Amino acid sequence: MSEKKPQRVLITGCQGQVGHALVQRLAPDFQPIGYDRSGLDLSDLDRLADKLHAAIEAHQPSALINAAAFTAVDRAESQESLAYDINALAPGIMATVAASHGLPMVHYSTDYVFDGQRDGAYSENDPTSPLSVYGRSKLAGEKAVVAANGPHLILRTSWVFGAHGQNFLKTMLRLAQERDALRVVNDQIGAPTSAELIAQSTHTALTSLIGGADARDPRWGIYHLTASGHTSWHSYAKHLIARARAIGWPICVEDDAVEGIAAQDYPVAAARPMNSRLDTTKWQQAFGETLPNWQVGVDQVLTNIPLQP
Which residues are annotated as catalytic? 134
Total residue length of the chain: 309
To 10 degrees, what angle do helices 168-178 and 294-304 make?
A: 60
Q: Which residues are registered as beta bridge partners of 224?
A: 156
DSSP label at residue 113: G
Helices (H) and strands (E) in the chain, counts: 10, 12
> How far is Cα 183 from Cα 162, in angstroms, rounded to an integer?
22
> How far is Cα 161 from Cα 300, in angstroms, rounded to an integer?
11
> How far is Cα 132 from Cα 50, in angstroms, rounded to an integer?
31
DSSP label at residue 123: P
Among 159, 155, 224, smallest CA distance to 191 is for 159
> How far is Cα 271 from Cα 269, in angstroms, rounded to an integer?
7
Q: Taking a C-beta distance cutoff of 8 angstroms, is the pair 153, 220 a contact?
A: yes
Q: DSSP 3-state assignment of 84?
A: helix
Pairing of strands 231-232, 189-190: antiparallel
> How far is Cα 265 from Cα 201, in angstroms, rounded to an integer?
36
- The amino acid sitting at 257 is A
